[in-house]
Amino acid sequence: MIQFLVHEAADSVGVATVDIKAGETASGLFMDSQKGIEIKALDDIPLGHKIALNDHAEGGDVIKYGEDIGKVVANIKKGGHVHIQNLKTKRW
């Protein structure tokens, strides 16, 4: 069962298609290549939220849909929940 989608190879996050529980190995799919990926979730990832595909250092960028969607404001580990607690828009 696919639990998250990654839109393209350059993306650094996937989007949960179901609720993912901390500790489970989640199965994902790259939409551009149809290649599978598995990541152990470090946190609960609610439906529609982002899961980190790799470590993100504070001050770095998050890429989703091939676009820079914001700045990392707290370190994020691979498999972590990427949301408002660790990602902020660059608009403000």
Question: Nearest Cα to 73, choosing from 62, 64, 65, 63?
Answer: 62
How many percent of the chain have pLDDT more than 90?
97
Residue 90's pLDDT band, with cuts at 50, 70 and 90, is confident
Domain that holds residue 27: 4-88
Residue 16 sits in a domain whose CATH number is: 2.30.130.110
The single residue listed with the structure tokens 């899961």 is 51
Cα 20 to Cα 45: distance, rounded to the nearest angstrom:
5
Between CA 74 and CA 60 the distance in angstroms is 9
pTM: 0.95
**Considering the chain, what percentage of its residues have pLDDT values greater than 70?**
99
Q: How many domains does the chain have?
A: 1
Structure tokens at 89: 């828009």
**17-43 pLDDT tens trace:** 999 999 999 999 999 999 999 999 999
